[in-house]
Amino acid sequence: MQTTRYRGLIAELRRAVIIIGLCLLAGIIVGQPLAGLVVGNVAYFFLLFREAQEFYRWLEGKSSTLPEANQVLVDVAEAIHFIRVRHRKTKRRLQQQLSRVEKSTSALADGVVVIAEGDSLQWWNAAAGEMLKLEAGTDSGQAITNFVRDPTFLAYLDAKDYSRPFQLQLTAESTRVLQLQVTQYGGNERLIVLRDVTHVTQLEQMRKDFVANVSHELRTPLTVLKGYFETFEGISEMLPPNVAKGLGQMSMQVERMNETVEDLMLLSRLDESDTLKTTALVDLSALARRVMTAAQMLSAERHEFLDEIEDGHRVLGVETELYSALSNIAFNAVKYSPEGGAIRFRLRAKGDKLSFSVKDEGVGIEPKHIPRLTERFYRADSSRNRKIGGTGLGLAITKHVLLRHQAEMKILSWPGKGSTFRAIFPRLKDSIETVDQSSARTNVGASAED
């Protein structure tokens, strides 16, 4: 093995010794050994120089002949040839794979775009080209924001939080809606998958319109019915008892339907957007107290109320919406707590958050129901709830309102022991928060943990 590896080198050494040796011998014969040695070295160097030139020409592909006499160069050439063949094979394999990927991605109905530093377009498939009107020759390297001109998309790309997809309406005139899911990989390279969700969005809009229209249409007949039932209530003593009883039950059911319609209409309004268009500073402390007072009225002294509401906390939002959201939580605590149970209202700051919570000692909720409580019409215990009443839409409204206020809801519950419903708001920045914090006070035992 070793001898094979050094065979060329040994042959070349032998050639050098022969050339220089012959010249030295000739020098000795003519009485000039040193001159013979010099001539031998120069001749050998000249030979090497010519062979190196020939080798470079072969390397550059300008000649097909190799300096065959120089075994070292022949060995190097063989190794290069071997590497080149291997490289060609790998290249062909990669090209095949690339064209397979290209073929499959161009067959995809979803658009795929690769962008790099500066949001510049690196590659895209046919579907993405059609969706964003990209030209293969001219648009490569340009910023994607030249083609998607929505400023909120630019902000979305810059924020680098791609946990939620971006919904995009290409132009104001177009009805086409695209959903963009961005995945970051490598350094600053990003893969964007574009999906046409026009149909889904239209269906969703149809559903919203349908619910809004039906609720609106039901409102007038229900108001008329309510009016009649109120009139009949006034003369119920004059009616036969079974008629009066029937009318009373009908009146209750109409009231339930009316509540459901009102809640559905509110949800339809909230559905229009996940963000608030206009906001104002809302005194959350005062609002929490109003909610507690309303809950106390609903309870009619059947429960004990604890006030741990800190003063001076404000949020940016819409007061009427926030009242609906928080009162749903509070009224549920009353509805689902047995007589004598304590209900604690707490509002306090925690780091950069504001936490409003209502804790009760009521029936509690089994863990399997908790993730689904904010679904429309979902009820943890339908037989009990039928007796208690309610629309099953309260927590859906609460969740929606909180979402619009960049707040979130947390639910803790233990069956038979009680529940805590908490709304967590982002705390206002100092520049907006004008309330003097030193005036904040806690009314009752604020040190107790939730």
- The CB-of-242 to ligand ADP minimum distance in angstroms stands at 30
**Selected binder of ligand ADP within 380, 401, 402, 407 (CB under 6 A):** 380
Please say which residue, 40 or 394, places its beta carbon nearer to ligand ADP: 394
**Selected binder of ligand ADP within 131, 266, 315, 333 (CB under 6 A):** 333
- The CB-of-390 to ligand ADP minimum distance in angstroms stands at 2
Using the rule CB under 6 A, give the single segment among 141-149, 234-242, 289-297, 379-387 that binds ligand ADP: 379-387
Rounded-to-integer distance, Cα 279 and Cα 276, Å: 7
Is 251 a binder of ligand ADP (CB under 6 A)?
A: no
- The CB-of-215 to ligand ADP minimum distance in angstroms stands at 16
> Do 189 and 115 form a contact (C-beta atoms < 8 A)?
yes
Instruction: Write out the binding residues for ligand ADP, residues 102-121 only, by CB under 6 A.
Output: none
Is 341 a binder of ligand ADP (CB under 6 A)?
A: no
Please say which residue, 8 or 392, places its beta carbon nearer to ligand ADP: 392
Per-residue interface string for the shown chain with ligand ADP, residues 64-83, x marking contact by CB under 6 A = --------------------
Using the rule CB under 6 A, give the single segment among 5-13, 326-334, 338-346, 428-436 that binds ligand ADP: 326-334
Using the rule CB under 6 A, give the single segment among 194-202, 296-304, 325-333, 428-436 that binds ligand ADP: 325-333
Q: What is the 3-state secondary structure (H, E, C) of the chain?
A: CHHHHHHHHHHHHHHHHHHHHHHHHHHHHCCCHHHHHHHHHHHHHHHHHHHHHHHHHHHCCCCCCCCCCCHHHHHHHHHHHHHHHHHHHHHHHHHHHHHHHHHHHHHCCCEEEEEEHHHEEEEECHHHHHHHCCCCCCCCCCEHHHCCCCHHHHHHHHHCCCCCCEEEECCCCCCCEEEEEEEEECCCEEEEEEEECHHHHHHHHHHHHHHHHHHHHHHHHHHHHHHHHHHHHHCHHHCCHHHHHHHHHHHHHHHHHHHHHHHHHHHHHHHCCCCCCCCEEEEHHHHHHHHHHHHHHHHCCCCEEEEEECCCCEEEECHHHHHHHHHHHHHHHHHCCCCCCEEEEEEEEECCEEEEEEEECCCCCCHHHHHHCCCCCCCCCHHHHHHHCCCCCHHHHHHHHHHHCCCEEEEEEECCCEEEEEEEEECCCCCCCCCCHHHCCCCCCCCCCC
Please say which residue, 317 or 394, places its beta carbon nearer to ligand ADP: 394
Using the rule CB under 6 A, give the single segment among 40-48, 108-116, 291-299, 327-335 that binds ligand ADP: 327-335
Please say which residue, 24 or 373, places its beta carbon nearer to ligand ADP: 373
- The CB-of-111 to ligand ADP minimum distance in angstroms stands at 39
Would residue 340 be called left, alpha or beta, if left means φ above 0 and alpha means ψ between -120 and 50 degrees?
A: left
Please say which residue, 284 or 373, places its beta carbon nearer to ligand ADP: 373
Instruction: Write out the binding residues for ligand ADP, residues 356-375 only, by CB under 6 A.
Output: 360, 362-365, 373
- The CB-of-380 to ligand ADP minimum distance in angstroms stands at 3
Instruction: Write out the binding residues for ligand ADP, residues 385-404 only, by CB under 6 A.
Output: 385, 390-396
Total binding residues for ligand ADP by CB under 6 A? 22
**Selected binder of ligand ADP within 344, 379, 399, 404 (CB under 6 A):** 379
Instruction: Write out the binding residues for ligand ADP, residues 23-52 only, by CB under 6 A.
Output: none
Is 332 a binder of ligand ADP (CB under 6 A)?
A: yes
- The CB-of-392 to ligand ADP minimum distance in angstroms stands at 4
Q: Smallest Cα–Cα separation from 111: which of 152, 188, 170?
A: 170
Residues in contact with ligand ADP by the rule CB under 6 A:
328, 332-333, 336, 360, 362-365, 373, 379-381, 385, 390-396, 419
